[in-house]
Structure 1
Amino acid sequence: MIEVKDLQKSFGDAHILKGISTTFENGKTSLIIGQSGSGKTVFLKCLLGLFEKDSGTITYDGNIYSELSDEQKRNLRSEMGMVFQGSALFDSMTIAENVMFPLRMFTKQSKSEMQDRVNFVLKRVNLPDAHKKMPSEASGGMQKRVAIARAIVNNPKYLFCDEPNSGLDPKTAIVIDNLIQEITEEYNITTIINSHDMNSVMEIGEKIVFLKDGLKAWEGSKNTIFKTDNEAVTDFVYSSELFKKVRKMYLEENQ
């Protein structure tokens, strides 16, 4: 579990995060949504330790990050998996070498142990025969699955995803959503996803945190988001006619 209390972050005169408090539970997919400039990316980078917060606390399973030693922070980072928006695969490495990279960085496993683990996670993301391919030979959907395999190769407790469906067609995006949710439940991971994709919100949003102007404007789930009368949320979520119709149908069926 990750607990956030009164998180504040500024850059010069720009006050980006204005006292955000929330929790993210193990075994659930939590989505952070909001318009561009709402603070989503800064929030995620604070959780990852890439940005130093100004004030507030971030607690990982009872351990306050700011109170950890450098070695303890390094150990914590080894328990984090990250799926970047553009997959961020190394072009000069094969898919197997990309997936093995975190093992080389954070573990002292033998080469055979690392190869066994790479084989396992590539099979888990339905790429059992992709080891020798280069990233340039893989489709966008395959690259995302490789990125997920790399993110989970170290058996992380925490999984962070930044716009994992960016650039994917709707069908492939659903495959990636379902894969992330399956892995989250299977390994009891605390998963946090930055997303602007409302299909993802409605597909896997077990918890949704809506940010607006650096504040937590609303939180709930894919089931309760239809019921809210929070104007900021409804303006964002139901900007398309499709979701307006879906909401209307949902409210009529659950009167």
Structure 2
Amino acid sequence: MIKVENLHKSFGETKVLKGISTTFEQGKTNLIIGQSGSGKTVFLKNLIGLFEPNEGNIFYDQQKYGDLSTSNRTELRKKIGMVFQGGALFDSMTVEENVMFPLKMFTKKSNAEMLHRVHEVLERVNLNEANQKYPAEISGGMQKRVSIARAIVNYPKFLFCDEPNSGLDPRTATVIDKLIQEITKENNITTVINTHDMNSVFEIGEKIIYLQDGILAWEGTKDEIHHSNNKDLSDFVYSSNLFRKVRQAYQKGL
């Protein structure tokens, strides 16, 4: 579990995060949504330690991040997996080498042990025949699956995904969503996903927080969105005719 208390972040005179408090639940897919400029990317970067908040606290399983020593932060980092928006794979490395990278960085496993684990996670994401290929030789959807395999190779307790469906067609995006959700359940991970994809919201949004102008304006489940009285949230989520029809059908009990 990750708990956030009264988080503030400013850049100069510009206040980006304005007192956010929430909890991200273990074993669930927790989604952060909001319009461009709402603060969701800055919020995610605070959660993973790329930014230091000006005020407030972040707790990882009751450990206050701000109180951790450098060595303890490094230990916590070993428990965190990250799926970057563009995949962030190393072009000069094979799929196998990309997935092995965190093991080389954070563990003292033998090469044989690392290879065994790499093959395990590649099989889990249905890429067990792509080991020796380079990122340029595989599709965008396959690259995202490699990124997921790399993120989970070191048995993370916390998984962060930044726009994991960016650049994917709807069918492939659904596959990626389901894969992330399945892995979250199987390993009881606290998963936090930063997304603008409303398909993801309604497919896997077990807990959703909506940021607006740096404030947590709403939180709840994908089903509770349909009954929300927050007009800004509704305008954002149901901006397309398709999702407006989904809401109407849901409210009619169809």
**TM-score class normalised by the smaller sequence:** over 0.9
Q: Name the residue aligned to 2:100.
A: 100
Q: Name the residue aligned to 2:162.
A: 162
Structure 1 runs (4+) deviating above 4 angstroms are none
* Unmatched segments (≥5 aa) in structure 2: none
TM-score when normalising by structure 2 = 0.99
Letter in 2 for 1:27: G
* Unmatched segments (≥5 aa) in structure 1: none
| Secondary structure at the counterpart of residue 223 of structure 2 | coil
Distance 1:84 1:250 in 2: 33
1:245 aligns with 2:209: no
Matched length: 254
Letter in 2 for 1:202: F
1:125-204 maps to which residues of 2 (within 5 A)? Answer: 125-204=125-204
| Secondary structure at the counterpart of residue 222 of structure 2 | coil
RMSD over aligned CA atoms reads 0.6
Q: Deviations over 1:209-241 (max 9, x none)?
A: 000000000000111000101011011011111
Offset of residue 170 of structure 1: 0.4
Letter in 2 for 1:227: H
1:220 aligns with 2:207: no
Offset of residue 113 of structure 1: 0.5
| Secondary structure at the counterpart of residue 209 of structure 1 | strand
1:36-51 maps to which residues of 2 (within 5 A)? Answer: 36-51=36-51
Offset of residue 118 of structure 1: 0.2
| Secondary structure at the counterpart of residue 3 of structure 1 | strand
Q: Percent identity?
A: 67
Q: Name the residue aligned to 1:87.
A: 87
Distance 1:196 1:229 in 2: 20
Offset of residue 181 of structure 1: 0.1
Q: Deviations over 1:141-183 (max 9, x none)?
A: 0000000000000000000000000000000000000000000
| Secondary structure at the counterpart of residue 168 of structure 1 | coil
Tell me whether 90-99 or 232-241 shows the greater mean CA deviation.
232-241
| Secondary structure at the counterpart of residue 232 of structure 2 | helix
Letter in 2 for 1:199: N
TM-score when normalising by structure 1 = 0.99
